[in-house]
Amino acid sequence: MSEHEGALLDYAVAARGLEGAVSGDKFLAKPNPRGMLVAVVDGLGHGPAAASAAAAAVAVLEAQLDQPILGLVELCHRTLSRDARGVAMTLAALDVLRHELDWVAVGNVDGVLLRTGEDGLRKKAYVLPRGGIIGHRLPLLRASTLPLLPDDLLILATDGIRPGFERVVDLAASPRQIADLILERGGRSTDDALVLVGRWRASRNASRARQ
């Protein structure tokens, strides 16, 4: 479990390994010169080999935080091509200057952005996953861009979390409460499971301060 309150992103992670074993699901949430880089990585299979592949991908991301996200996916692919395991990954760059989110998904790590609209209704957008395995077979990469507003909720979840997890989310709850509830209600007992929930805290005043 992990929790962090920051000027740009408040986030919490809830996770568990298969039958108490080391988990092949990893995450990254780090500030970079433009805002935040956030990723959830699922190593192929289970156990130490899956964990090693996921950790290697996270290490690449952490060493190159300021790079564009498509280039980061390609760097991970080249690094993991020497490994017996590959990974699935969703990678998101949250830009405090442009007030935008860029994200890309390879494999089965789900991503959703939630907010309350001006009409009071819930709005949601999903990352478009592309088939493939980073380190083995990389698809044609294309990032999507969304506007980013204060209090937007970003949720990334491995396939150890059942689809439809966003339906249990109370947007007024804390990231910790949301992450724990998603894992409790949607976590599969047959797979590693990890969910990261982040609330974007940056305002236009914050972005001007960074310029």
| pLDDT per residue as tens digits for the range 63-121 | 999 999 999 999 999 999 876 689 999 999 999 999 999 999 999 999 999 998 888 88
> Is the predicted pLDDT of residue 192 greater than 60, yes or no?
yes
Q: Which domain holds residue 202?
A: 2-210
Residue 65 in 3-state DSSP? coil
CB distance 171 to 116 below 8 Å: yes
Angstrom distances, CA of residue 181 to CA of 15, 126, 155, 161, 178: 11, 20, 13, 11, 5
* Token pair listed for 99: 């007030």
Angstrom distances, CA of residue 43 to CA of 1, 31, 98, 194: 18, 24, 32, 12
Q: Which of 54-58, 85-89, 91-95, 204-208 has the lowest mean pLDDT?
A: 204-208
CATH code of the domain containing 190: 3.60.40.10
Helices (H), the chain: 47-63, 69-80, 175-186, 204-210
Domain count of the fold of the chain: 1
Q: What is the pTM assigned to this prediction?
A: 0.93
